[in-house]
Structure 1
Amino acid sequence: MPQWLHQLGDIIEGALPKILAGRTDVVEKPDGSLVTAGDLYVESLVEEAMAEHLPDAILLSEERILPAQRLDDGLFVIVDPIDGTENFAAGLKEWGTGISVWDHGTHLGSMLLMPELSERLVTGDGIPKLHSRITGLSSTIDDNVREALEADGEFRIIGCAVYNLYNVVRGAYTRFLNPRGAYVWDLLPGIMLAAEHGCDIEINGEAFNGGYLDPARRHRVDIRHRYDLHPG
């Protein structure tokens, strides 16, 4: 599966000019969030790759919500085609694609991809030996985020879960905190890579057990990098 994910990453990166051409074709959805032609194009690239290599898999994404479907009941490709759509539509480079593949509740592989930054992390890849004091925070400001910002420390609010998760996994962030919660397509690729690299992970206030997450609800996340496992 990691090989297929790398191949898919190559396809998406190779299509970057066409993806970027869709960043100004924007529609506001009923919930106020944005979707662009770039989002839909990346999702179509994933669908084409699935049709060739994983024809029996079910696509689960923000645009393909299956609230009654359990992730332990089939072969799933969970996709956030463009995470950080607000950034993407505004012309910022901090956006990414998250993909996680599951077969009847067993994780087969995940990828965090940021094509415009030329950054990628796939199941089985190594990570650098970094050290950081920075905590990444979700971009939705609520009382929990305000409380975190009042503490001493260095903080970054970027507005892209793929970016935040990528950086806490590799140690460029010491911690990533999303107290409001997000959905499986936002989180699961990065959570599984964080688990692979020994991060401490809390989901909804409890230690992550490595299993699937309910796709019908938001999940609060607190991930801390373990520098003792990756000494610099």
Structure 2
Amino acid sequence: MEQHTQTARAALIEASDLLDSLMPKLDALRTDVELKADDTPVTAADLLVQQKLETLLRARLPDLTFVGEEESAGWEAEPTGWVAVVDPIDGTENFASSLVEWGTAISIFHTGVHSASMITLPELRRRIITGDTLAYAQSRIAGFSSGMNQTLVDRIAQAPQARIYGAAVYNFFGVVTGRLASFTNPVGAYSWDVLAGLSLAREHNCEVFVDDEPYDGRYLEPGRRYRVEVHHRYDRHPRQGSLG
């Protein structure tokens, strides 16, 4: 494993352990909710997780540029050195409602090249980190984003089975592991919502599209929305056939 990937993976394992240790505090902060300017919720738990992760990652990755969803500054469109893109709690609406379908996403780049990513679902005790070996499920269920437009409505109507879970990290975990056949967000999401999931999907042989073009693993600029679509390729696993 390349040195930068080893360094980033070790930091992500520590981050996952940190999240597990924070769970009692996070559970107590679920109802401490405010609405942001875009009418989306943020809890005290979001802010705590981001602060703790930033402290940990800065200690492990020198001269880090930290791009977080909550209260970030100093974003760089063309990153140099280490860059961490973090969604502290993806699916905050679910989290604040005491649903378990939420998680944390972290993607780490070095000099503009992806090093390692993690998506973790702490209440479900599930995670994927770059370099993990997975056992793949098989599904015909299509996952969709909760933001609605006519394209999404039409795609849902065409799907043999459709689900809306309300958290990109949960959908990405599903499609990377084969529990979902696909995940589609035609409305658009920010880089902290999607970078980790897209990177892990590429690592596990999924078909990955950003803004209707094949995704090549590049760093995605923060502050703008990206349409994403991911298909699990069942035929790319040994002894596992396609659902056709």
TM-score, normalised relative to structure 1:
0.96
User: Contact 1:202–1:222 (CA<8 Å) still a contact in 2?
Assistant: yes
User: Contact 1:178–1:221 (CA<8 Å) still a contact in 2?
Assistant: yes
Q: What's 1:48 paired with?
A: 55
What is the alpha-carbon distance in structure 1 between the residues aligned to residue 32 and residue 223 of structure 2? 28
Correspondence 1:3-42 to 2 at 5 A: 3-42=10-49
Q: What's 1:227 paired with?
A: 234
CA, structure 1 residues 19+33, in 2 after alignment: closer, same or farther (shift >3 Å)? Answer: same
Which of 130, 135, 145 pairs up with 2:152?
145
Letter in 2 for 1:125: D
Correspondence 1:125-140 to 2 at 5 A: 125-140=132-147
* Number of positions where the alignment pairs a residue of Structure 1 with one of Structure 2: 232
Q: What's 2:204 paired with?
A: 197
Please tell me whether residue 61 in structure 1 is matched to residue 75 in structure 2. no
Q: How much does 1:68 deviate?
A: 6.0
What is the alpha-carbon distance in structure 1 between the residues aligned to residue 195 and residue 122 of structure 2? 19
Deviations 1:48-91 (A, max 9, x none): 21232124101101124458622433321110000000000011
Point out the more displaced range, 23-32 or 68-77: 68-77
Which of 138, 146, 160 pairs up with 2:167?
160
User: Alignment RMSD, CA only?
Assistant: 1.4
- Structure 1 unmatched ranges of 5 or more: none
Correspondence 1:61-210 to 2 at 5 A: 61-66=68-73, 69-210=76-217
User: Contact 1:66–1:215 (CA<8 Å) still a contact in 2?
Assistant: no
Q: Sequence identity of aligned pairs in percent?
A: 42
CA, structure 1 residues 219+66, in 2 after alignment: closer, same or farther (shift >3 Å)? Answer: farther
- Structure 2 unmatched ranges of 5 or more: 1-7
User: Contact 2:141–2:163 (CA<8 Å) still a contact in 1?
Assistant: yes
Runs of 4+ in 1 over 6 A off after TM superposition: none
Q: Is the partner of 1:15 in helix, strand or coil?
A: helix
Deviations 1:96-139 (A, max 9, x none): 00001111101111000110110100000011131100000000
